[in-house]
Amino acid sequence: MNARVQFHIYLVCVHLVFALSLALVLPANRPAFFILEGCFLLSLWVGTRLVRRMLAPLRFLETGAEMLEEGQFATRMRAMGQPELDHLIQVYNRMVESLHDERLRLGEQRGFLEKLLQATPAAIMTFDFDNRISMVNPSMAKLLECPTKDLLGRGLEAIDHPLARSLASLPEEASVVLNHRGGRRLKTSKSRFLDRGFKRRFLIIEEVTHEVRQSEKSAYEKLIRVMSHEVNNTIAAATSLLQSCAGYSHHLPEGERDDFSAAITVVIERMENLNRFMREYANMVRLPDPRKAGADLAALVDDIALLVRHECQARNITWRREQSEAPLPAVRIDRHLMEQALVNIVVNAIEAIGEDGTLTVVLENRGGKAVLCIRDSGQALTEEVRANLFSPFFTTKEDGHGIGLTLVGEILTRHGFDFALDGGPGRDTEFTIHFT
């Protein structure tokens, strides 16, 4: 029971008691009785009016509280003709107007922020207070290769994806560059923001692959040019001198001629090997832009199979070729460059297997796009190797130069194709190329 009802009950009870008392005291004097009863009724009416006036602010507060609770910030109160109440109404109207304007402003900002998050190429993810994913924009969902609805409400550690595992292990307030599939470089920042006084985490990922590759390319191109210039000049002069020295072998005693000639020949061969070694690096720097033309991808794979067939037989490696039932779409490639890239990939796979293994080449039509997968059963990729894939001069081979995958990545990037090299314990290593 509210205060207004209590006041009215009180007034009615008081006046009813006095009216009954008069009826008992003045039963014979009817004129006086009716006059006094009229006075009581007038008093009751005046009291009721006063109670209503006194309780008007309370009714206003109740109505205002209901509208605020329902979020009706567009509704305004009218003046009641009571100075003290009208002032309260003015204050209330100004307050709800400010709240209404603030709600509109926040709504506009939220709408702009949502559109910005949807359109930005940066991958963004926020977490709730229990470190479960509360918001993911399309760029992040694409990186994690999972629909947005399947990511919400989950922790990073519950997502079966290499990038998710790397993100889960990041320390707080960290900003690092992660290596992703296909040699992609992702600048990742992990930090916190305040929400209602409590800290929540967020992640921002920016792709810096192009910038890093350009920086690396500029560095190794300059290095290779300097090395090639100095080494080639030295080799040319040294080879010329050695060939001249070889001509003096007939002046030596007959017993020393063979040893002398053999020594000169070995040094000249080493010079030629060094020259060939530098040419391989120089060829990577002088890689031409692809001249694209229509090509039969299946025929190209068959040609490569012929090239490596003898090597596979010698190592007891089974070559398997699989192709989807759907016809492969036409691809536009520089056949010479693409053959060079695929040969590098296949040779790496053969060397990773060593002996007694399986090398599988899969050709697929995925959504009208050709996809090539080269899968080997060789040694699994370690985390260290995966972190340095496609980095210039990185190699795990004792006699490797570290230019094979760099050359492959450069050729595929110039073609504009997406590619990835992935594998791990218990899984085959797979090089995938999407011919877009």
The closest alpha carbon to 436, from 386, 355, 391, 369, belongs to 369
Query: 3-state class of 117 per DSSP?
Result: helix
pLDDT score for 361: 92
Per-residue pLDDT of the chain (436 residues; tens, 9 = 90+): 555 666 667 667 766 766 666 666 655 566 666 666 677 677 767 667 766 666 666 666 677 777 777 777 677 777 766 676 677 777 777 887 888 788 888 878 888 878 888 888 888 899 998 889 988 998 888 888 888 888 888 888 888 887 888 888 888 887 888 777 666 778 888 888 888 788 889 999 888 766 666 666 676 667 677 677 677 777 777 777 777 777 776 777 776 767 777 777 778 787 777 777 777 666 666 677 888 999 989 999 998 888 888 888 989 999 999 988 888 888 999 998 899 889 889 988 888 888 888 999 999 998 888 999 999 887 777 666 666 666 666 666 666 556 677 788 888 888 888 888 877 666 788 888 998 7
Q: Count of residues for the chain?
A: 436
Note the pLDDT of residue 36.
Answer: 65
From the centroid of its chain, how far is CA 388? 20
| Topology (CATH) of 293-435 | Heat Shock Protein 90 (3.30.565)
pLDDT at residue 316, rounded to an integer: 92
Residue boundaries of the structural domains of the chain:
3-103, 120-207, 213-285, 293-435
| CA nearest neighbour of 151 among 162, 137, 167, 172 | 137
pLDDT at position 362? 92
Task: Report how far residue 34's alpha carbon sits from residue 87's, in angstroms, rounded to the nearest whole number.
Answer: 43
Query: What is the domain class of 120-207 according to CATH?
Result: alpha beta
Q: Specify the pLDDT at position 102.
A: 82
Contacts of 388 (CB under 8 A, 6+ apart): 179, 394
Residue 332, pLDDT score? 92
What is the maximum span of the chain, computed from C-alpha positions, in angstroms? 171
What is the model's pLDDT at position 178?
A: 79
